[in-house]
Structure 1
């Protein structure tokens, strides 16, 4: 049986270079980075090197990069800190954000009584800029806007520069969950009007359990976790050294090979879209995922022409055939809940049909895509 992994939006295969780097770290750099002896200093030096590597690529200052356990922690750190420490009274987000943002915003509304607004979406799932403008100008309260750069389910890319400028013009803070973006797109935080962003290594062929937050200098944000003085006081606790150097290596390789790998994966996505259209002409693409210019090159989200009965067994059938993909985001797998993203943009009739997210990486091939399409077509005709 062929095995095909098309779920890289959930997590990616770790690069061989990263594994080698982490093995070396585990074997030879076991000192506590907070210790003053040579073992500790060696580890601390490597952590600061990783911080500088990331900062340089993002055009940030090293002090603005804070290592976390991943995107969820970083989102919580920023949103909760903005309300607790920065006097934010109004949160503006959308109903198709990752739950790390949505659930945090909902909890902050309960705990602190902040006003929570959801910007309207167009039929494709992009934020309505006129409505966002009206929300920003509704009153004089201090506001934070949180909108993800690349949607993790439908792949839409928002106009990050336009939204950043709009927020700055209206004296609002701007945070973006860029977990699906960092490692796949170039970033320049000095020339993008953004105050906070978040990233996770396992989305660009690094290890799980490590990520970072970009926190613009002098925002006044305070720690979420208290204890020692690690991470410039932003995040107490002994640093996960092997994961940090793994993150750095994945980051270096991703940006070094970005153009070549992006071209390769874009070609895979284009091939998949074209061949799906020929073999299953009734298929539709959710959001803007079928548009090569307006969505990320790493995924498509398709609505399949199957009956409700066939839909019930589809993921199970694909798994039996060795194919890994997602019904919704990975955070929803194993749950009977439907996708909250698709629930916002699809009609009731469309929601009755099965939708799947296929996400690609440099490790996929056109031969694998041919196999997946053949399985989908056979299931439709069975």
Structure 2
């Protein structure tokens, strides 16, 4: 019996993540520096950890409601109103998930029927296309342009909309580019979404990490709350990646079905993590601001470093990534990343890991110590210097 013949055809055709393959090499390479992982290098703030520990000491280790603890959902809604002017009912319009990634998967599965199309601007987070495909949709990518600072334009959406389009994915601040969309940008996209009766899946996991303009949620614009599912979580802003805490808010007509899928597949998010998350949204604004300021300083160092070596790099105003162009070197993104790792022991992610439109670029995370970033830049500069004469 050939077990591979028993596998789902969908699973067999999905490629593995283009991010992860470099990390196995880096883990076994002495003196290597990785700029590849999209994970904060800060410890989870102590008050958050302490609350998780305290819940364990008190024996609070039982199932919670499928939707998440009422207190946590209430605090999430208070946070969203305080920070972004969003108003949601914590009982019927809020679902606590196992990371933001589960929320994305649930939304697709709750909404998609076979043959539906999902518009996905790229470069983008690696999960959108596979999750949409597994849910039965046809993913339709919208290539974003460096000359537009990787912002999505209404013309680009119009060009790709068909009578089968059901969902538009927005991911701003963006992974991998660091691009943002301001209120004016979003208003134009909202008009297209309303015109074509689209549901918007807005992944706002980096909403707290902007440098300059404050993040605006498309759900806050007129006519958009009832057609938008907002995905967010605790991994990036609160440095809680391993706690696996996320949430989705949106119309109860969509959150309800998402919860139904969640209760059969997951039951509930980890109880210990939920207690820690309550503390995060209630009392950790200052910790978030401290981390954001540190990222901003690193961001400036990295931009200056890439520009000084002669590589084009637009200024990202969100998340903690740079997406410099390596086209001047004459190498493909894959060749550049492989050779940089082998020759200078620095790991970056090829832009093509985030879609075909990422060709000619690399993603570099600056969620690392300033000393590691400076050393990495010096090594990359040596490598690029050998390529650009």
Q: Assess same fold via TM > 0.5.
A: yes
Q: 1:164 to 1:56 in 2, by over 3 A?
A: farther
The one of 267, 274, 283 equivalent to 2:304 is: 274
Q: 1:155 to 1:61 in 2, by over 3 A?
A: same
Q: 1:372 to 1:93 in 2, by over 3 A?
A: closer
In the alignment, does 2:193 pair up with 1:163? no
Q: 1:88 to 1:249 in 2, by over 3 A?
A: farther
Q: Which residue of 1 aligns with 2:274?
A: 244
> SS where residue 108 of structure 2 aligns?
helix
For residues 99 and 15 of structure 1, the distance between their equivalents in structure 2, rounded to whole angstroms, comes to 25
Q: 1:189 to 1:57 in 2, by over 3 A?
A: farther
Residue 166 of structure 1 and its aligned partner are, at CA, apart by 3.0
Residue 93 of structure 1 and its aligned partner are, at CA, apart by 2.4
In the alignment, does 2:365 pair up with 1:359? yes
Q: 1:238 to 1:80 in 2, by over 3 A?
A: closer
The one of 233, 238, 244 equivalent to 1:210 is: 244
Q: Which residue of 2 aligns with 1:65?
A: 94
Q: Which residue of 2 aligns with 1:291?
A: 315
Residue 78 of structure 1 and its aligned partner are, at CA, apart by 0.5
- Post-superposition Cα deviations, 1:283-310, rounded to whole Å, max 9, x if no partner, equal 222xxxx224xx4252212345667687
The one of 110, 123, 126 equivalent to 2:151 is: 126
Q: Which residue of 1 aligns with 2:379?
A: 375
In the alignment, does 2:70 pair up with 1:48? yes
**Normalising by structure 1, what TM-score?**
0.70
Q: 1:376 to 1:235 in 2, by over 3 A?
A: same
**Normalising by structure 2, what TM-score?**
0.69
> SS where residue 144 of structure 2 aligns?
coil
Query: Are 1:300 and 1:357, in contact at CA under 8 Å, matched by a contact in 2?
Result: yes
- State the Cα RMSD in Å: 3.8
For residues 49 and 234 of structure 1, the distance between their equivalents in structure 2, rounded to whole angstroms, comes to 22
Q: 1:189 to 1:327 in 2, by over 3 A?
A: closer
> Which sections of structure 1, spanning at least 5 residues, go unmatched?
36-43, 330-337
> SS where residue 67 of structure 1 aligns?
strand
Residue 81 of structure 1 and its aligned partner are, at CA, apart by 0.5
Q: 1:116 to 1:239 in 2, by over 3 A?
A: closer
Q: Which residue of 1 aligns with 2:168?
A: 145
Query: Are 2:97 and 2:247, in contact at CA under 8 Å, matched by a contact in 1?
Result: yes
